[in-house]
Copies of this chain bind each other. A is one copy, B any other.
Amino acid sequence: MAVVTAPKQDRSRATRQRLLEAAVACLAEHGWAGSTVSVVAERAGVSRGAAQHHFPTREDLFTAAVEYVAEERSSALRALPVQSRAAVVEALVDLYTGPLFRAALHLWVAASNAPHEEQLRARVTELEARVGRETHRIAVELLGADESLPGVRETVQGLLDMARGLGLANLLTDDAARRGRVVAQWGRLLEEALG
């Protein structure tokens, strides 16, 4: 049996992955209003029926997609060799400037549109908390920060809030030059604060 089902499971997993990646790209490019299961299925080269088998609702597909890509980014960050704090700060800020951040931002903003999006809101609130905790954990680990010291936890949180704000500042224009200078300076402040 294993001989027969294994390739089938592999195909199913590959289809799922293609759908998740297409969903993030679609959300980043077209926003929530332009993102449906059908559009993503077509982009991924998957039949609409197969897409709906994997993700019965639009909310299922797009929250799973943002979570999947966030997990991929987290794994990549964790796999980095040990680096200087300055390099870690740069890598953390980079999390907020690519298509994943744009996709997540569209989802967050759509979910905030209560009362039109109650169902999406509940899902995204939970997802945000989960991804936020995980990102904080990774930041503490990579920065070698000792959270038993007073203020350290808030110092790291503020850094991630700044990174999120930098992502927003990069939404309409290429903010890379200014961002580089801000990140260098806040990297120095962080180095002093963490000791």
Is A105 touching B116 in the complex (CB atoms < 8 A)? no
Within 8 A of B (CB), among A89-145: 102, 105-106, 108-113, 116, 121, 124-125, 128-129, 132
A15 contact set on B, CB distance < 8 A? none
* Among listed A43-51, A54-62, A157-165, interface-contacting one: A157-165
Within residues 46 to 79 of chain A, which ones have a CB less than 8 A from any CB in chain B? none
**Whole-angstrom distance from the CB of A114 to the nearest CB of chain B?**
9
Report B-chain residues with C-beta under 8 Å of the C-beta of A184. 154
Is A33 an interface residue when CB atoms closer than 8 A count as contact?
Answer: yes
A169 within 8 A of B: yes
Residue A81 at the chain B interface, CB threshold 8 Å? no
Of the stretches A3-11, A16-24, A171-179, the one at the interface is A171-179
Bound CA–CA A166/B184 (angstroms)? 20
* Residue A13 interfacial (CB < 8 Å): no
Interchain nearest-CB distance for A175 vs B (Å)? 10
The verdict on A164 contacting B169 (CB below 8 Å), with A109-B106, A185-B151 known, is yes
Contact indicator B158/A108 (Cβ below 8 Å)? no
Q: Does A182 contact B (CB under 8 A)?
A: yes
Q: Which residue from chain B places its CB closest to the CB of A109 in the assembled complex?
A: B109
Contact (Cβ within 8 A) A162 B168 = no
A31 to B182, CA, bound (A): 31
Tell me whether A155 and B189 are in contact (CB under 8 A): yes
Which one of A34, A102, A186, A188 has the highest number of Cβ atoms from chain B below 10 Å of its Cβ?
A: A186
**Residues A189 and B185 in contact, CB atoms below 8 Å apart:** no
List B contacts of A186 (CB < 8 A). 154-155, 158
Bound complex: CA A129 to CA B178 (Å): 13
